[in-house]
Amino acid sequence: MSTAMARIGELEVGQDLKFERRWWKFERTGWILLALVLLFAILGYLGPGPLTKHVAGTRGGPLWLEYHRYERYHAPVDLRVHIGAVAARGKELQLWIDREYVDAVSMEDVEPQPESVELKNERFVYTFKVSETPRTAKILFQFKPNKFGKTPGRLGIVDGPEVRFTHLFYP
């Protein structure tokens, strides 16, 4: 408090109207920016949301997956894998995900539960038993990212088609 205080009548108060007017403009601009951040979040650009739901592969094809492009570090993520009639054949269904991607996340759950998981040729292979040939199958991978940044992944059916996808994990 070394500088002299502004005086309003008898009142010594550090009022600064010039600063206050500049601040009000800055404050209003800040509000607009905060509103834009919220809008972005609602739309899904800062986490899962309606505009950033992606499909990798062709919907209705032998293999496609649904995911949200923007996810967050240590937050639950769903990866829905759809297998079409052509791909789901035989008594066993083997899906693989590239090792680099699986290493970037902590796998929490796979629905339905796979019969086995093994590491083969830098890929995690998930084997599911199928009692009869299903027309289609849905497999849900649930995990939490333990890295942040852009994380590309590959997922496929053993000896079958594969799809590529990219996540952006926010800190």
15 touches another protein (CB under 8 A): yes
**Which range touches another protein (CB under 8 A), out of 13-21, 49-57, 84-92, 116-124?**
13-21
**CA-to-CA separations, 67 to 2, 44, 100, 116, 167, in angstroms, rounded:** 59, 12, 18, 24, 9
90 touches another protein (CB under 8 A): no
**Which range touches another protein (CB under 8 A), out of 6-14, 77-85, 113-121, 132-140?**
6-14
Contact status, residue 54 vs residue 165, Cβ threshold 8 Å: yes
Pick the closer one to another protein by CB: 31 or 85. 31
16 touches another protein (CB under 8 A): yes
Residue type, 128: F
In what helix (H) or strand (E) does residue 22 lie, and over which residues does it extend? helix 17-43
- Edge-first strand order for the sheet with 137-145 is 53-57, 63-68, 77-83, 137-145, 105-111
What is the nearest approach in angstroms of another protein to the Cβ of residue 12? 10
Q: How far apart are CA 4 and CA 160, in angstroms?
A: 79
Pick the closer one to another protein by CB: 4 or 122. 4
The residues that touch another protein, with contacts defined as CB under 8 A, are 3, 8-9, 11, 13-16, 19-20, 23-24, 27, 30-31, 34, 74
